[in-house]
Amino acid sequence: MGDTEYSLGKTLLKLENVCLEYDGVPVLKNINAEVRDIVVPGKVKGQVVGILGPSGCGKTSLFHIIAGLHKPTSGRVSVNGFDRAVRAGEVGVVAQSYPLFEHRSVLGNLMLGATQKEHDSETAREKVMALLKEFELGDKFNLYPAQLSGGQRQRCAIIQQILCSEHFLLMDEPFSGLDLLMPEKTCELICKVADMDDLNTIIVVTHDVTAACSVADHLWLMGRDRDVNGALLPGSRIMKEYNLIERDLCWHPSIITTPKFTDFVREVKAEFRAL
């Protein structure tokens, strides 16, 4: 049991018997999971879930279903307690390439998202400028995407989705293609976004076990079952869930330097390799 006092509140996101087939072949089967509001007395604490799994296990398909961009063959994903399937736009998506309109400035890109919710352009601009300042990009608003570093583009893409969606953010392989110092900065950024609001939920889809363990409070490990001969069967599911809060392995900046954290990463990697 972890030392941090916390409780679980309402369900923010729920996956119910999600199945996906292509031409009758299962890709995802019977995926059930939920994200609940984590309540820590005296603190604003959002949720960060890491989805791990080997290449080809259906992580991208699940990503699209959670985002409301693809309908499952059966089952559903719901958010905010709604008794219906998630709709496109309710969950922000930060793609691996951080797509931005190259012909628009940083401000111009972000205003497109801001004006979807704020019909008054001045209010929208104030909101954009406040977020740029919050993410240390206040002096970059007149630059174009080509003039930004990879890390700066990533922050712009995150701000863009914060402006468009409510409390949910999906990130596809946010640790890939960055220089050696950026994964640590990206972990800090994800935690910062999560902790901007108690209801914020960040879902990180990745194959980077160490980075996922460094940033998440819960992990979902995806994989496929095997037959009696050890051959992989079609259709991935969530094979194992890890609660890092109960293990006292999150929310402490220095925890990643401890033997306990190293042992946990080794445990998850062993499970990962066995899939």
127-154 residue pLDDT tens: 999 999 989 999 999 999 999 988 898 8
Segment 199-223 mean pLDDT: 94
User: Closest by alpha carbon to 195, among 3, 8, 40, 35?
Assistant: 40
Calculate what percentage of the chain has a pLDDT beyond 90.
73
Give the whole-number percent of the chain exceeding pLDDT 70.
Answer: 97
CA distance 270 to 211: 16
Q: Is the pTM of this model over 0.75?
A: yes
Whether residue 176 is predicted with pLDDT greater than 80 in this model: the reply is: no
Would the pLDDT of 196 be above 60? yes
Q: In what order do the strands lie in the sheet with 47-52?
A: 74-79, 7-22, 25-39, 232-243, 218-226, 47-52, 201-206, 168-172, 91-94
pLDDT at 2: 54
| Distance of alpha carbon 212 from alpha carbon 221, whole angstroms | 11
Q: Per-domain residue ranges for the chain?
A: 7-90+208-274
**What are the tens digits of pLDDT across the range 235-247?**
999 999 999 999 9
Mean pLDDT value across the chain: 91
Q: How far is residue 9's CA from residue 194's CA, in Å, rounded to a whole number?
A: 16
User: How far is CA 26 from its chain centroid?
Assistant: 24
Distance CA 19, CA 27 (A): 7
Reported confidence tier of residue 52, pLDDT bands at 50, 70, 90? very high
pLDDT-derived band at 98 (thresholds 50, 70, 90) equals confident
For residue 4, pLDDT over 80 is answered with no
pLDDT band, residue 1 (cuts 50/70/90): very low
pLDDT of residue 182: 67
Higher pLDDT, 45 or 176: 45
Identify the DSSP state of 231.
P
Return the CATH number of 7-90+208-274, one of 1.10.150, 1.10.1760, 3.10.150, 3.40.50.
3.40.50
Q: Is 110 within 8 Å of 163 (Cβ atoms)?
A: yes
